[in-house]
Structure 1
Amino acid sequence: MPKVKPVGIYREMYPTSRPELPVLAESYTKRVIADRSNVVEYLREGRPIYDILEDMVDLVGRREWIRSARSLRSDGVWVWRVDSIFYLERYSLEIPDEFLEHARQRDYRPDQEIDFSDQLFKSSYREYI
């Protein structure tokens, strides 16, 4: 079973070292992503995979709280956290071209019919909690 790919998930979101993830402060871009709002809506519409009722402070501005920040969403190919949506909407952060093409090919509508099981969660999603 192929592993899901993370989008908008950064090292700073975790208390332990996650060297495989990008650093938030190094993820800013001057590139204009013209359809960023459509991509953010795609992220919002992703299927909830795991809910965590814990609010977290915005790691950049440190003034706003993000509800259920660590909760996971997915489209079956990619995985992201609720706070990922916040950061990718609010800040000029890079979004991988591979993910942009993925969302565009689906006309910004994530698949809601994800084959999901405990085994799939443990093998693909759990590491992003």
Structure 2
Amino acid sequence: MLAATAQRVFDVLSEEKQDAGPLAIMTDGEWMWPADLAYYVRRYNISLPENFITHARSLDWVAPSLTSADLLLIEAEMFPE
């Protein structure tokens, strides 16, 4: 996890305000995705980019643990001063 809050996000495709998960950004050091992505894949069977799927499969679907230094570098790239 790169960034997280205590806030929850709601399904933007549903009028019922269904809880879609935490407001957080996930990363494996190469890709970043919102924590609620899995919700949309499960609920709506959305398609993901093939190169994302290939990459995730190559990691056996488990994002590697990143060091604090790795996360700081990614954060600096995302939020340059």
**What's the TM-score once normalised by structure 2's chain length?**
0.77
Separation in 1, partners of 2:38, 2:8: 14
Residue 66 of structure 1: how far off its partner (Å): 2.7
Greater per-residue strand proportion: 2
Gaps of 5+ in 1: 1-47
Please point out which of 25, 46, 55 is paired with 1:72.
Answer: 25
Determine the structure 2 residue equivalent to 1:104.
57
CA 1:112 to 1:59, structure 2 compared with 1: closer, same or farther past 3 Å?
Answer: same
Cα gap change, 1:110 to 1:120, in 2 (>3 Å):
closer
Bigger relative contact order, structure 1 or 2 (CA pairs below 8 A, ≥6 apart): 1
Letter in 2 for 1:77: E
Q: Could you tell me how far 1:71 is from its partner in structure 2?
A: 0.7
SS state at 1:80 partner: strand
CA contact 1:53–1:67 (8 Å) conserved in 2 = no
What percentage of residue pairs aligned between the two structures are identical?
21
TM-score by structure 1 length? 0.52
What amino acid sits opposite 1:54 in the alignment?
A: Q
Q: Give me the whole-angstrom Cα distance separating, in 1, the residues matched to 2:27 and 2:35.
A: 10
Q: Which runs of 5+ in 2 are unaligned?
A: none
Q: Which runs of 4+ in 1 moved over 6 A?
A: none
Name the CA distance, whole Å, in 1 between partners of 2:21 and 2:51.
28
Match of 1:92 in 2: 45
Please tell me the root mean square deviation across aligned C-alpha atoms, in Å.
1.8
